[in-house]
Amino acid sequence: MALPSAWSVLHVAIPVLSVVALLSVSLAGASQDSGSVIPAESRPCVDCHAFEFMQRALQDLKKTAYSLDTR
């Protein structure tokens, strides 16, 4: 049984080591505290954000329509 050549071993080892290194760096970065994490229970949902945005947009449209009417 022939042993694999050094080049074929390097072609496999380098990508594997790269993936392991990237995973270890990302895991080390994930353990750091971001400092301003808000618990999910106290954050408004996406629908609430969209509703508030639409309310503000509607108020802006009403103000614009009123200012155009007064001209």
The answer to whether position 30 is within a domain reads yes
Structure confidence by residue, pLDDT tens digits, 36-57: 777 777 776 777 788 888 999 9
Q: How many domains does the chain have?
A: 1
Res 38: pLDDT: 72
Share of the chain above pLDDT 70, in %: 63
60 versus 22: which is more confidently predicted?
Answer: 60
When the pLDDT of each residue in the chain is averaged and rounded to a whole number, the result is 75
Res 63: pLDDT: 92
Q: Please spell the DSSP secondary structure of 9-55, one letter per residue.
A: HHHHHHHHHHHHHHHHHHHHHHTS--S-PPPTTTSPPHHHHHHHHHH
For 31, the domain range is: 6-70
**pTM score, whole prediction:** 0.36
